[in-house]
Amino acid sequence: MKLQRIGHRYLDQASGQTIDTWFAASNAKKRRSCLAEKVGLIRGEFVEVVIESLDLPPVSTEDAYLRLHLLSERAVLPNGLNLEGLFGWLPVVAWTSAGPVFPAQVEALRDLLAAEFHHLTVPSIDRFPRMTDYVVPSGVRIADADRVRLGAHLAEGTTVMHEGFVNFNAGTLGESMVEGRVTPGVIVGKHSDIGAGASIMGTLSGGGKQKNAVGERSLLGANAGIGISLGDECIVEAGLYVTAGTKVKLPDGQVVSARALSGQSGLLFRRNSQTGAVEVLPTDSGRWGGLNAALHVNT
């Protein structure tokens, strides 16, 4: 599938290197402005970006930014496009209150802003900006926008609480609660809850290639974690981390590695408080009651 979009990019004035690129959802020529441009450290210009195929890896900074926009615009699902080599095309940027600049330019920017009565703040130095500075998807709530990177895919009805974190090429497929970490490559099904402090191993965890997911109507308890996929109507009790190699005791007494259960539905993972053994029992979403509908009115 060939894509063609009009973007507005910022370039470092001294080196001519692209800092970032923003694509208006309407694909119209819309420019941005900021104080870093006003004082001459960066310049803005329009650019036409063509992606011949999403199956091919990005070939420029502008191309990389367009792919991240497509994910956050919900035009493609996580793992639905080639992001090989993405990090190499994304420069480290100081995301400041006066606009994006390279980190080495922050002090010069501060000096040049002295006459502008602007108190410069630098909330982040990173390759990825906040999603909400580039794309604001409809029907979502995000308590702390610093914790959602551009390239996150948030479906309608998603709530990301203050301690929730959603990385690029990861996200939700429907109404859901995110209070823990959703890492690259991870997809969370509708009506599921990622509890406070919980985490899911993604494709960048230790260089792994496994694409883990959480099914529908599932609960990952507070401070729990998984290195496997969960199917529908699964529960992992609070504080329990289940890796692929975790030895799990089945109802019939058999002990297997948790990877053998990856993706299966209707399972409750818990630790026996007397023996310390990790056990698996059959369950259903009714065991935890499901999402609170009153908390997911996001319009």
Q: Catalytic residues, which ones?
A: 179
Residues 6+ apart with CB under 8 A from 213: 186, 187, 188, 189, 229, 230, 263
End-to-end CA distance of the chain: 33
CA angle 90, 92, 96 (to 5 degrees): 120
Q: Which residue has the tokens 């930014």?
A: 65
Pairing of β 187-188 and β 213-214: parallel
**CA-CA distance, 251 to 260, in Å (whole number)?**
15
**CA-CA distance, 152 to 148, in Å (whole number)?**
7
Give exposure, 34-62, as e/b (b: 16+ Cβ within 10 Å): bbbbebebbebeebebebeebeebbeebb
Residues 6+ apart with CB under 8 A from 71: 78, 81, 151, 152, 153, 168, 169, 171
Q: 3-class DSSP state for residue 166?
A: strand
